Structure 1
Amino acid sequence: MSNYDGNVDFNYEDIDLDNVNQSQLPNNVPFDDSETQDVGGLYNAQVEVNENVEVNVSCTKKSRGPNIIHWGEDGVRERIKWDKFGAPLWPRKKCAQFSNFIGSLAADGGFYPINISDWRHLKSESHKRAWERVKGTIDWADPHTASRRSAIKSYVFKRLQDRWKHHKSQLKQKYWLPNQGKPERFNCNLELVDQIQWKEFVQYLDEEDTQTKAAINVSNRSQRIMHHSTGTRTFPAVVHEWQVENGVEEQPDRWEIFKLTHSKKGCKDQYVDDASTKAVMEYEHAEEERKKLNIEITPQVREDIYAEVLGVEKRNIVRGLGAGVKWRDVPYIHTEKRAVSKTVEALQAKFEEQRLEAARLRSEAEREKVEAAKREERIRSELAEREKKMVEEMEKFKRDQMRIMEDNLKMVEQRAVLRMGQWMKEAGFSGIDTASQAFVEQITQATSTQPQSNIPVIPTPSMQHGYRPEMPRTLTN
């Protein structure tokens, strides 16, 4: 079987798609058709094959043939409502027509040949031509549609990948499995299938490695015991119809969507299989147990119970919300912990620990800086207060000393006056009242105007106060 050469690798960056492929999926993981069954309507019901059952090709029911595509007939550009992830919502008939159109496009070997083993190996030119075909059928004049152009593009390629895988699976089950090991397996009378592509596809299916992977996929597929009841409608379309019917604008959470998409038609409390019924019972029991413990049933708690009952999400795929939804779009989601994820998680935990430690050190440094600034301000304030107090004390001390000096000076002056009076009396001066106030004031004034000296100054009394004796003249011969 021809796979691809070095010049046909498809690069999603060329058409600005967000994770259109599932490159992280291992080859032994089966495709999980979680939304539609045979959207293109190209085949009979799937033939179950196992070791204990022989397939009777002659008894297969006659097919009604491929659906007639009504989407975009006669060049009409269709207008429908889309959700934020690019999935069609309303009206229901147009949404079904769009799904049929995507299925037929994926089954067209001119766009997506079946002799390519991996979606990632398809030519980018095929994707570009397919998108131009889809884009030409949509009315982009509608502002609502135009605003979701990128999301619609991403959704379309996810659905094309889904339908292309489904198309190859149906061809294998109808034309290869019944004739495995026989020359007739190279004959495929379906007009949509290119015979050269079919022969190369058969050669690929005959390879031992391919059959080993197929056996693993069959085993994994057989473990699926839970099914939905939405038919060709997408999960977002079912939710939208429920919102319209009940006049509710807020979207229900994942558990309510699970019950909507797994209940029987017209029976709200009855579910399509035992596995779905058991899951509902387990969820309700877990919710009641939490209520008994006085635990508030918040959206986070509901997600916890969802993961407890249905398991964690894997491979960046979110169950129950339709194509295009990623882990980052669902709050409180529980995801798988792979070996690489655990390593990354350990590194992230270590980095987070270091980040928190660095933040703590920065916080302590900032706190120390603030406290140092406060201490510095407090010291400055205390120093200023002490300086002010010291200046006031010095001023007070100076005033006290001046007062003491003045008092002492007055005392010295009084004593000096008294002593001067005594000297004058001893010297024989009379007629001077040394105790009179006028005399004291005169002496005080004289001492205050004369320069200070260690020698006491004895003023000469005025002659008006008494007689001044004269020295006796020496008698001459």
Structure 2
Amino acid sequence: MCQRHLTSLRNFKWWDARGRGRTLLKDLYDLNPIECVKVSRNSHGQPVGSEARLLEGYLGIIAQNANMLPINYESWHHIPDSNKNQALDNIKERFGLEVSDDYIKKALGKKWRDHKSTLKKQYFKKDISLEEKLRNVPLGMLRYQWEDTVRFWNSKKREDRERVGTSSRQKQKFTHTAGLRSFASVAEAEEVSSGQKVGRLHLFKITHRKKDESPMTSEAGEIMEKLKEKKVEYEVIALTDSSVNLENIENRIITEVLGPERYGQVRFQGSGVTLTQYFGSGSQQYMPSGSQAQAENSSKNLEREGGSESSKGGSGSNEGGSDSSEGGRGNSDGSRVE
């Protein structure tokens, strides 16, 4: 049981040739049983700092534990709460978390889906017979789980779901360049470097450009130009119109250029930030209309059930969406894969 938080990881780092410290996951197992790594959060409840990256890596390890989080469920939401709580308790033995349990479970769910996606790509997508795929059990995987999962991947039901996911990904207009870092961590690092608060427009720019400062894609470049032009327009108006609230300009600009926020997520903020949490009582003006929201929810639920497994999440951004997709809503019967 964690009784003392380590506010610094300086004793658990090695230094590479360029003098940069790097924390190793294996060092977590060397901690005194009463010690754990403290993970801080930002104002939106997202983990930040070097400890956040360590937590991210550990979530990936837990997500691959077949005994704790079996892969032979159609979606993350089908996995029993008892399994998820067991995983959460394991994480809390090594981390003192300021972020919510709900955030951790959602992040763990994405890691679980990414793990299934990797297994599918490496083992199921091979040009071999179904019988060979069933026999080719990955290292560390339980045979009965693997056989259940392979049979589901080979089913008509799965093919239909994958088409939904493929269609959704084809609509993505640009990808971000944050890599394994969350948008929250990118924003924090930029704020420390510049000494200034990073807004949504600036965060979009620095997470969608190459090392040479050029836009990641032509589509991203077009969006950057539109956002820049719209910002200039509002700043000019603000010079003569005192009713223009400079603090809300960025939100209005993003909505005018890209439309309402989608799927209950806030663009350019990453996972875990809800519309109400970010916009407060004025969140309704940034939401889609009732019919549009209903259509998006239906599409998102289908994608959550199956589409996310066919490619790793987190590297894409649909019209400037979050850097991490939340997903996995499945059938109400809670059945395993069939």
* Sequence identity percentage: 21
State the Cα deviation string for residues 146-201 of structure 1 (Å, max 9, x = none): xx3xx342221111011111111221122112237532221334213222101000
The residue type paired with residue 214 of structure 2 is Q
* 1:111-160 deviations in Å (ceiling 9; x for gaps): 1111111222211211111011000002x4xxxx5xx3xx3422211110
On the 8 A contact 1:86/1:154 being kept in 2, the answer is: no
Q: Tell me what 1:110 maps to.
A: 67
* Rg larger for: 1
Which letter maps to 2:38? Answer: R
Question: Residues 67-466 of structure 1: matches in 2 within 5 Å?
Answer: 69-70=25-26, 72-76=28-32, 77-91=36-50, 94-138=51-95, 140=96, 148=98, 151-179=99-127, 182-248=130-196, 251-265=197-211, 267=212, 269-291=213-235, 296=244, 298-331=246-279, 333=283, 334-339=286-291
Cα deviation, residue 275, structure 1: 1.9
SS in 2 for 1:78: strand
Corresponding letter in the other structure for 2:288: E
Deviation at residue 71 of structure 1 after TM alignment: 5.7
Distance 1:118 1:233 in 2: 25
Q: How does 1:13-28 map to 2 (within 5 A)?
A: none
Q: Could you list the per-position Cα deviations for residues 39-71 of structure 1 after superposition, in whole angstroms to 9, with x for gaps in the alignment?
A: xxxxxxxxxxxxxxxxxxxxxxxxxxxxx7336
Q: Counterpart of 2:76 in structure 1: which amino acid?
A: W
What secondary structure sits across from 1:321 in the alignment? Answer: coil
How far apart in 2 are the matches of 1:82 and 1:302? 23
The residue type paired with residue 229 of structure 2 is: H
CA contact (8 A) 1:229 1:261 kept: yes
Q: Report if aligned partners of 1:71, 1:101 keep a CA contact under 8 Å in 2.
A: no
- Aligned mates of 1:340, 1:235 — CA distance in 2: 27
Q: Which amino acid aligns with 2:52?
A: C
Whether the 8 Å contact between 2:215 and 2:221 is mirrored in structure 1 is yes
Give the Cα–Cα distance (whole angstroms) in 1 for the partners of residues 54 and 160 of structure 2.
37
Residue 105 of structure 1 deviates from its aligned partner by 0.7
Aligned-pair distance for 1:98? 1.7
CA contact (8 A) 2:263 2:293 kept: no
CA offset at residue 223 of structure 1?
Answer: 2.3
| 1:403-442 residue CA offsets vs partner (Å, 9 max, x unmatched) | xxxxxxxxxxxxxxxxxxxxxxxxxxxxxxxxxxxxxxxx
How many aligned residue pairs are there?
A: 260
**Residue identity in the other structure for 1:315:** Y
**Paired residues of 2:203 and 2:268 also in contact (CA < 8 A):** yes
Structure having greater relative contact order (Cα 8 Å, sep ≥ 6): 2
Indicate if the aligned counterparts of 2:45 and 2:273 stay in contact, CA closer than 8 A. no
CA deviation profile, 1:360-383 (whole Å, cap 9, x unmatched): xxxxxxxxxxxxxxxxxxxxxxxx
CA RMSD of aligned residues (A): 2.4
* Alignment correspondent of 1:355: none
Q: Distance in 2 between matches of 1:111 and 1:327?
A: 32
Deviation at 1:235, TM superposition (A): 1.0
Aligned residue identity for 2:277: D
Residues 175 and 239 (structure 1), Cα distance of their counterparts in 2 relative to 1, 3 Å cut: same
SS in structure 1 at match of 2:174: coil
TM-score calculated relative to the size of structure 1: 0.50
Label 1:233 to 1:87 Cα distance change in 2 as closer, same or farther (>3 A). Answer: same
Aligned partners of 1:229 and 1:272 also within 8 Å? yes
The alignment partner of 1:95 has SS state of helix
Deviation at 1:317, TM superposition (A): 1.7
Distance 1:290 1:310 in 2: 16
Alpha carbons of structure 1 residues 96 and 290: separation in structure 2 relative to 1, 3 Å: closer
Q: Kindly indicate whether the alpha-carbon contact (under 8 Å) linking 2:44 and 2:278 is maintained by their aligned counterparts in 1.
A: no
In structure 2, list runs of 5 or more residues that go unmatched. Answer: 1-23, 295-338
SS in 2 for 1:275: helix
Task: Work out the CA distance in 1 between the residues paired with 2:27 and 2:74.
Answer: 29
